[in-house]
Structure 1
Amino acid sequence: MKLDRRCRRAIKTEFRKQLKSKNPDLEKTIDDILAKPLGLDPKFVRDYRLSANLLTPSEAMQTRKRRTWRIVACLASLTALSLFYLGYRNDTFNKIFTPSSTESFSVHPSSDDIPDAIPGAKEVIRYPCPDAKYLLVRIKQSHLTFESPGDILDLKTPEKMALLAEALSPFYKELNAVQMDIGTIITYFTKTYGVVNIRAEGVFKDLSREECRNHYMNRMSIVLRDLNIQGVAGIDTAMPDIVYAPGAALFLGMLGKINVLPATHENIQQIAEKVFKGELPGSDRDILLNRELSLLDLVTSNNAPFSLVVYGGEHKFNEVVHRWNEVFPGKTISLIDIIPSFYTDSPK
């Protein structure tokens, strides 16, 4: 049964009238009250009120609560599915993160210890510095920027969002493939050398496991929105193509498999975000250079001679490290760039 225009208008009029009456029994009887004079089934009235957003204050509150719980349930399902697809629930996945007693290094690896062939990498490029005090291994990455493609295009209608999702699908598949390679490379360093820390671009403080999860889920929500993925079934289908897209370092940090450390100072990161968003004046190159120097300062300000970092491929660390070594001869750095197998220079 469909409600005609006359019935809908009558329901709206009577609904507003009943709200003004402040009837204490209104919450329990409103569908009956509205249906009776029109000779309608209260269920039809209820369905129409829900579709037309004609809800009493307490009903509206309950609806918001149900929506909130659905979102929470969806995110929980997303986390569970993420863990499932990475094999977190089986012993094999845990074993690859357990350093072998015969392969592990009791000290930090040197440049000579790191081979030219690494799982997940297509190339290892070395920029040696004789008698360097520090070794920096940078894994090049493609990653989400401060604004996702969906933010930049700002398309709101369902039709345009569907077109956007179709256009962005190859971008996110490539991004996921690169980040999956990065996860493999991090796993190699964890298994072979016992590395437990990684510095991640965009991070300005040590992240707890919970903070890694929050960052991961926030980024995943952007991916789901850009790809117009809705509901648990949609997430289940899409998960193999997007599980790594928010970032391999965050994902492994969320699982407690590696500690995620800062790759920049907080004030530098905040300024960079404002410049990239157009809230402050400044050139992109100056901001990139400040962030690069901030990382080198962090790397050389502690007692660890080895640092593993995941950072965007547009950053030319070989040039910056060369100048750094000239200015700071007591804090010289050797650099190794690792290029993931699916990495190209096109994504940022």
Structure 2
Amino acid sequence: MARDVEAPIGSARLELVEGVRLLHPADAVLEAMLTGWGRQQRGGRHLQEKTVSDRIATIRRFVKFADAFPWTWGAADMDEWTTHLVAEKHLQPSTIRATQGAVRMFCDYLLDPRYDWAVECERRFGTHPIQVCHEWNTLDHLLDYEGDPDRRPMTRGELQQLFDHIDERVDLAIRRGRKGALTAYRDATLFKVIYGWGLRRTETARLDTFDWYRNPKAKEFGRFGMLEVRYGKSSRGQPPKRRSVCSTMPWAVEAVEDYTTNIRPRFKGHDRSKALWLSERGTRLSAKEIDERFSVYRKALKLDEDLVPHCLRHSYVTHSIEDGADPVFIQQQVGHEYASTTALYTGVSGDFANTMMRKAIDSALQRDLQDFGPGGRSRR
């Protein structure tokens, strides 16, 4: 097949040369398909290299499992693979969905008439690819969040314990003239920021001093009225998502303002770094170090070992909803694409649930009285 300059990136017309006899045609066509798909994703869709290579690796694993080439795949192959991933590999639902998504996209690519792979397979092998991913043999993407079910929000009591404990460590270090007062003060402020703005640990680690700015609707917070999160969680293959988070907790604003004004300037290298959170060496604090610092305090307080920094983000969602915040506003604050994700993050307390239940019952009783009257007779 002659090369066609008008053919799109990844087309069979660009990956296979007509008139060249292939020693192992099936293997050669498979490699041409994968090469073309990789180029189509890199050049046509500008996806990251790791995303592309991971997807191609998934297709190779599926080829090996099915022991068949793409133009002979059937839906039963995907059905068996799904069973294998669930029952034998015990993979997380999100991982299984990612592998199935790669196969689905690869099949879509092969069936797209612009790339001529179906025509080429029919000409060479007398058959053509089909879509093998369907609702009945894949996991439906019902929810955006499929994290560890052991994750839960911290209670208000646990939060108070954590913040009080770190504050006490600051006071103790100062009174005894020991090192550690600065890092403890930094830690206290850092965890308050995670909770106060509902952040992920990576988002928190990547914050810079200039990410705060004024909100004309909240002048009382000065230059800390809004927080620009520049390294939010990205969709697969896409750059980090940005979002602006409104400041809503005055005590958290006071904490970060005091830290940036009085504490951060005491860290080594503060004048050479734009990072908000600095280590004792003057380098940016990493997400891993945030985990480690949280673990130290959790163990000292003998809190549940399942608690991690991300639970502070859960707590922000839960407590904001309990305090009457609009769920849509909270969804925007934390950067959830789906409302169902925010709902999963919400672990309301028993008292709050009972209050909501009481309101629902009272509302139902009120409607019954309006519709039927005290004696149960319909007023309609």
TM range (shorter): under 0.3
**TM-score, structure 1 normalization:** 0.24
Higher RCO by CA contacts (8 Å cutoff, separation 6 or greater): 1
